[in-house]
Each structure stands twice: as C-alpha cells, then as structure tokens.
Amino acid sequence: MVTADELRTKKQTWFDDVSVGQDMPPLVIGPLTPTHLFRWSAAIENWHRIHYDQNFAVYHDGLPNILGQGSWKQSILPRYLKDLCLPDGWPWKVQFQHRAMIVPGDTLTVWAKVTNKRVADGLGLVEMDVGMKLQTDIETCPGTATIVLPIKGGRPIPYPFVAPKEA
C-alpha cells in the first residue's frame, strides 16, 4: 500500500518519460477481509446483504461467499490513476467491465500498461489498458484509461480540466 508521505512527496511522471508497452507501477490491495467489505458498505450506505451477510449470500443467493462491491472497484481504479498522475497530471477518463467476483481472502493488483501516447492541444495524453487482477491472475475489471501527464517545457494541465478539442 501507498503511504501518505509517499503521496505527499511523489515525484512527477512526465509524458516524455513513458513509452508504449511500459508497465506503470502497480497498486496491491489485500488480502481483503469481510471487515473491509463491511466498511465500504457502511461508508456509502449500500445495505445489499450479499456484501456483509454470509448466510444470505450463500444460502439465499447461492454465492460462494460475501462479494466485494462493484462500486468499491469503481472507486479504486480512479484512485489508482490519480496516484499515477500526482502531483500535476490528470486522471481524465476510464472505462471498465465487471468480470470475476471478489471475495474475502483475495488480493488485488491494480495495474496499467501504456498502449499509446499522443499530444492533443499541447496536452500529453497517455492511453492505457488497465485492470485489477486477483492473486490467481484472473482479471476482474478489464478496461482502458486516458491520463494526461505534463510535457517537459509544455503548457500546464488546466484545472478544472478542459478536454482537448482534438481528442
């Protein structure tokens, strides 16, 4: 896991420094416990019992265990992209599908691999395949993302972010 001090002092990854085919630094989370899942349910007041009531999940819904929430995964991927961009890049967009189930005991590796890079309106767009792999190497959340990294000597990335017209 990443610490607060690492995020406070993170050095910028520049557009100039990434190349197609490059693996970005992964984020490993886990092993997940029922308590992690329950904390997320309580945080967003999602009371669906399949996420914290094992009897209901197994005997009523026929699931192998309580399940990790899709909404949690939906929050982890943007969080990971944000970390990659800090301090001055921008995690512009991400799309993904929900595939394999996540259950207590699983460890997730959030990953990204650069598939393309291009400049649009003076902004450095980095396109990536992204996902969250289980310890078994099964992909739970395949998708794609576009982040914006600053170009050395280039213009600052606007905040609020303004999508490049050419993108």
Partner 1 sequence: MSETKNPLTDEVKALIGMSADKVEASPPWGIEREGLRIFTNAIMDPDPRYWDDEFAKSTKFGGIVTPPIYCSYIGRKTLAGVEDPISRAFRENPNSDGIGGVREGGADRKGQLPSLPTPLKRILNAGNEIEVYKYPALGDHIYSQAKYHDIKGRVTKDGTAMLVVTTQTTYTNQDGEVLCILRASTIRR
Using CB under 8 A as the binding rule, whether residue 40 contacts partner 1 is answered as yes
x/- letters, 139..158, toward partner 1 (CB under 8 A): ----x---------------
The piece of 13-21, 90-98, 116-124, 128-136 that touches partner 1 (CB under 8 A) is 90-98
Q: How far is the CB of 28 from partner 1 (least distance, A)?
A: 11
Q: How far is the CB of 87 from partner 1 (least distance, A)?
A: 7
Using CB under 8 A as the binding rule, whether residue 118 contacts partner 1 is answered as no
- Residue 141 in contact with residue 77, Cβ under 8 Å? yes
Q: How far is the CB of 77 from partner 1 (least distance, A)?
A: 8
Separation between Cα atoms, residue 120 and residue 82, nearest integer Å: 20
- Residue 126 in contact with residue 144, Cβ under 8 Å? no
> Which residues make Cβ contacts (< 8 Å) with residue 121, sequence separation at least 6?
164, 165, 166, 167
Using CB under 8 A as the binding rule, whether residue 18 contacts partner 1 is answered as no
- Residue 130 in contact with residue 105, Cβ under 8 Å? no
The structure tokens listed for 159 are 């905040």
Using CB under 8 A as the binding rule, whether residue 160 contacts partner 1 is answered as yes
The structure tokens listed for 73 are 């995964």
In the three-class reduction of DSSP (H, G, I as helix; E, B as strand; rest coil), residue 150 is classed as coil
Using CB under 8 A, list all residues that contact partner 1. 1-4, 7-8, 29, 39-40, 42-50, 53, 56, 60-61, 70-72, 74-76, 78-79, 81-83, 87-88, 90-98, 143, 159-163
